[in-house]
């Protein structure tokens, strides 16, 4: 899904299923619902949430102009696991997400190069290991960062620049609030892609609940 899972009011969302609704005519022109008309959508519930999903879920659509998700309406759970879905009525076609807002905390740390020198403006990204959500930030001049993540959760955190990538670290966050979980060690950028002497990279697979689903970092 596009965007960084933030909403138009600054909160962060966890996805329980998503879909893109996109129709075109035979000339390639985009089709839209006529004013006053509605459509019913059914969003398959993610595999990890089959059998445990809530009875109702807020519906969010993606606003391409702002890069954020906007709540509009409510979806209702239907079907039987492992084929559950969220159903609801929409007034326009877009990316649609079945999401809930979650309580956030923060993770703090530092990004360095192979020699231990701090890296400014490195991209730091989190991805939930036991939830579907992401967030990102960039390091300060001294290589430090603070990034939001879901409270009381397991989070995968990685740093990168345009041509280098760090190993991934798994962090267990604390309760919601402004007290950050500090990384026990720096995120160290490894292989330089496309540079002199490059030609290899380290790839780490982190397996989810379902072994057929993996997160490539």
Q: What is the mean pLDDT of residues 201-210?
A: 61
Core vs surface per residue 92-103: b (16+ CB within 10 A) or e: ebbbbbbbeebe
The pLDDT score that the predictor gives to residue 198 is 45
Residue 178 has pLDDT above 70, yes or no: yes
Which of 141, 71, 129 has its CA nearest to residue 100?
A: 71
Residue 204 has pLDDT above 50, yes or no: yes
The pLDDT score that the predictor gives to residue 44 is 94
Average pLDDT across the chain, whole number: 86
The pLDDT score that the predictor gives to residue 192 is 52
The pLDDT score that the predictor gives to residue 50 is 87
The pLDDT score that the predictor gives to residue 3 is 81
- Torsion angle of alpha carbons 117, 122, 128, 132, nearest 10°? -170
The answer to which of 59-68, 76-85, 178-187, 189-198 has the lowest mean pLDDT is 189-198
The pLDDT score that the predictor gives to residue 199 is 45
3-state secondary structure at position 202:
coil
**pTM of the predicted model as reported, rounded to 2 decimal places:** 0.66
Instruction: Report, in this order, helix, strand and coil percent for the chain, each rounded to 5.
Output: 0, 50, 50
Which of 96, 91, 88, 90 has its CA nearest to residue 35?
A: 91
- The residues, any chain, with a CB within 8 Å of residue 212's CB and separated by 6 or more, are none
Q: What is the mean pLDDT of residues 118-125?
A: 95
The pLDDT score that the predictor gives to residue 33 is 92
For residue 147, list its beta bridge partners: 107
Q: Where are the alpha helices (DSSP H) in the chain?
A: none
The pLDDT score that the predictor gives to residue 209 is 59
Q: What is the mean pLDDT of residues 140-156?
A: 93
CA torsion sign for 21, 55, 46, 152 is: positive
Q: What is the mean pLDDT of residues 116-129?
A: 93
Q: What is the mean pLDDT of residues 52-61?
A: 92
Residue 102 has pLDDT above 70, yes or no: yes
- When computed from its CA atoms, the radius of gyration of the chain, rounded to whole angstroms, is 20
Phi, psi torsion values for 49, nearest 5 degrees: -110, 5
Higher-scoring residue by pLDDT: 210, 22: 22
């Amino acid at each position: 899904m596009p965007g960084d899972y933030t909403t138009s009011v600054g909160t962060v969302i966890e996805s329980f299923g998503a879909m893109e609704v996109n129709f075109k005519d035979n000339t390639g022109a985009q089709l839209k619902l006529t004013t006053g008309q509605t459509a019913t959508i059914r969003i398959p519930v993610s595999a990890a949430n089959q059998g445990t999903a809530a009875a109702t879920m807020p519906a969010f659509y993606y606003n391409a102009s702002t890069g954020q998700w906007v709540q509009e309406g409510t979806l209702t759970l239907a079907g039987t696991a492992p084929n559950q879905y969220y159903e609801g009525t929409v007034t326009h076609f877009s990316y649609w997400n079945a999401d809930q807002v979650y309580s956030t905390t923060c993770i703090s740390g530092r990004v360095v190069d192979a020699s231990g020198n701090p890296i400014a403006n490195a991209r730091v990204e989190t991805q939930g290991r036991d939830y579907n959500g992401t967030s990102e930030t960039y390091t300060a001049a001294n290589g430090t960062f603070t990034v939001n993540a879901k409270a009381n959760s397991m989070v995968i955190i990685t740093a990168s620049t345009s041509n280098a990538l760090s190993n991934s670290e798994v962090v267990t966050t604390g309760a919601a609030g402004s007290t950050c979980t500090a990384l026990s060690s720096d995120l160290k950028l490894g292989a330089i892609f496309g540079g002199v002497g490059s030609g290899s990279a380290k790839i780490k697979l982190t397996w989810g609940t379902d072994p057929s689903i993996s997160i490539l970092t």
